[in-house]
Structure 1
Amino acid sequence: MTSVRLRGLLPALAQRRTRVLPAAAAPGGTVAEAVGVRVERAGRAVLDDVGIEVRAGEVLALVGPNGAGKSTLLAALAADLVPSAGEVRIEGRPAAAWTPGELALRRAVLPQDAALSFPFAVGDVVRMGRAPWAGTEREDEDEAAVAGAMAATEVEAFAGRPFSALSGGERARVALARVLAQRTGLLLLDEPTAALDLRHQELVLRVCRERAAAGDAVVVVLHDLGLAAAHADRVAVLHDGRIAAEGPPSEVFGEELLSRVYRQPVEVFPHPRTGVPLVVPKRAHATTRRTANRTIRHS
């Protein structure tokens, strides 16, 4: 590199080094919020007048049936989607007031699909999460952040394998490791357990709880109401683009609400040991089914 080009880069590097880095939020403080958010697609309101707060030290689960607006709300909170009306704020500022680089220091996003066009090694994919910190004083944390994220998601064993050679569940864990390595105070995770087995579903939600306990704000889209009830501090039930109910799972998960929202009769009862709400569909009793089967066989 010529000395002229080097001199030209030095001011830019110095500016990155002096960038104002995000400070940790106070416990319970609002890290992000949606205020009267409306999102329209093809002339239809996918979200309509939605308001929600995301707080430091909490896991907030977004639940609801397919098409209720969960992923759209997550994208709006991430400032990846501009609302048709209303406003999203991150750290008290309108999301549009932050540059992409500033946002990347403050929130990390896990989309539903983890796809890469090139055969990057797993370790390199996780290291991508550190890109926003390049040129800042926290760049020195890169190796520790990557190693810690890979250990938390149990992907160290295939660090050198191509990402494209992994199973769907392995890719999901590597994608989560990248998000964790980013070390932001706000994590936005879209269906992180969808491709995972039972053990790794629990691992992912346990990691979410650990991050919240450390002071981060975590928003996670879930379809499994049992996981939401067991691991979330608050749940927001979305229905037809609106929030039908929001609060602790023990207060929100009621039979009438869930049966209406999901259009499927359910039963809700406390776990006999933990008291956590268990949500199960109402099904025909086994005796009824056996009687029906006998009737069919003899007809």
Structure 2
Amino acid sequence: MRLRSRQIPERPSPGAELLAAEAVRLTLGGRELLAGVDVRVRAGEVLALLGPNGAGKSTLLSVLAGDLPPSSGAVRLLGRPLGSYPAAELALHRALLPQSSGLSFPFTAGEVVRMGRAPWAGTPAAAQDEQVVAHAMAATESARFAERPYTALSGGERARVSLARVLAQRAPLLLLDEPTAALDLRHQELVLKVARERAADGDAVVVVLHDLSLAAAYADRVLLLADGATVADGPVAEVLRAPLLSQVYGHPVEVLAHPRTGSPLVLPVRG
């Protein structure tokens, strides 16, 4: 199995199903956090997980990443049970960006990004480490503080470095938990553009977002959750409808068309 974990996996073909979750339930402390959720994740798409606070978005992402085993149901990566992957092999196939990642040692930002290359040690891909790290830091506009201690960075700078680490891992499946939460407008757009670029290159991206208009602009498909259950799953225009969103979020919204791109703009009704 150790030998198998060091093999370089083949890149998925466009539209291929990378990850599938079927009837996933999760109960912790007597509380049901996920209630029979189904998910399909395909190469070449950006899937946005949306829903109000407590809907189960981050919990579902943790299950899809293999960090939380479901109480029932099945999760398969490339047709194989997710739990059957050794950690080293799993890291070759999926990269996870959690909401927060604490480091107690004063690693530089560049060293943190290089940690993303650890799964490829001992493989031919390791020869590309420096090139991949440089590309990831350039893509996230974090190269200018590569030599600064990670602990000395601002929250937004840390978020960009953490994303660069995930990008440097070069896994075909990216799982991003609220990657725009600590970022200004420019870098929110940057992160979602990077996600779109990875999808255009054939990777699959699953991203938890709170900004519905950002999701509308960059996602191919939306999974809308409430109380741990799927409310809707489909193309952006089919899911981001005012009556449904008003019901799920408990606040009236209106959905307008962006005057230039035509993508939905989701706005709360005020006044």
Query: Which residue in the other structure is 2:139 paired with?
Result: 152
Q: Assess if the C-alpha contact under 8 Å between 2:7 and 2:123 holds in 1.
A: no
1:241-252 residue pairs with structure 2 within 5 A? 241-252=228-239
C-alpha offsets along residues 190-211 of structure 1, whole Å, 9 cap, x if unaligned? 0000000000000000000000
Q: In structure 1, which of residues 32, 39, 43 is the aligned counterpart of residue 19 of structure 2?
A: 32
What code does the residue aligned with 1:214 have?
A: D
Find out whether 1:83 has 2:70 as its counterpart: yes
* 3-state DSSP of counterpart to 1:130: helix
Query: Which residue in the other structure is 2:6 paired with?
Result: 19
Distance in 2, Cα, partners of 1:164 & 1:127: 16
TM-score by length of 2: 0.98
Q: Sequence identity, in percent?
A: 65
Unmatched segments (≥5 aa) in structure 2: none
1:218-257 residue pairs with structure 2 within 5 A? 218-257=205-244
Offset of residue 180 of structure 1 = 0.3
Distance in 2, Cα, partners of 1:25 & 1:211: 13
Find out whether 1:271 has 2:258 as its counterpart: yes
Find out whether 1:205 has 2:181 as its counterpart: no
Offset of residue 18 of structure 1 = 8.4
The number of residue pairs the alignment matches comes to: 271
Q: In structure 1, which of residues 186, 204, 222 is the aligned counterpart of residue 173 of structure 2?
A: 186
C-alpha offsets along residues 135-169 of structure 1, whole Å, 9 cap, x if unaligned? 11111111111010000001110110000000000
**Higher Cα Rg, which structure:** 1
Offset of residue 16 of structure 1 = 4.9
Distance in 1, Cα, partners of 2:267 & 2:96: 30
Distance in 1, Cα, partners of 2:111 & 2:149: 9
* 3-state DSSP of counterpart to 2:164: helix
- Provide the alpha-carbon RMSD of the alignment: 1.3
- The structure 1 segments of at least 4 consecutive aligned residues displaced by more than 3 Å after TM superposition are 15-19
Distance in 1, Cα, partners of 2:53 & 2:230: 14
C-alpha offsets along residues 95-117 of structure 1, whole Å, 9 cap, x if unaligned? 01111011000000000002101
The structure whose RCO (Cα within 8 Å, separation 6+) is larger is 2
Query: Which residue in the other structure is 2:90 paired with?
Result: 103
C-alpha offsets along residues 219-267 of structure 1, whole Å, 9 cap, x if unaligned? 0000000100000000110011011001111111111110010000111
Unmatched segments (≥5 aa) in structure 1: 1-11, 285-299
TM-score by length of 1: 0.89
Q: Assess if the C-alpha contact under 8 Å between 1:17 and 1:136 holds in 2.
A: no
Query: Which residue in the other structure is 2:40 paired with?
Result: 53
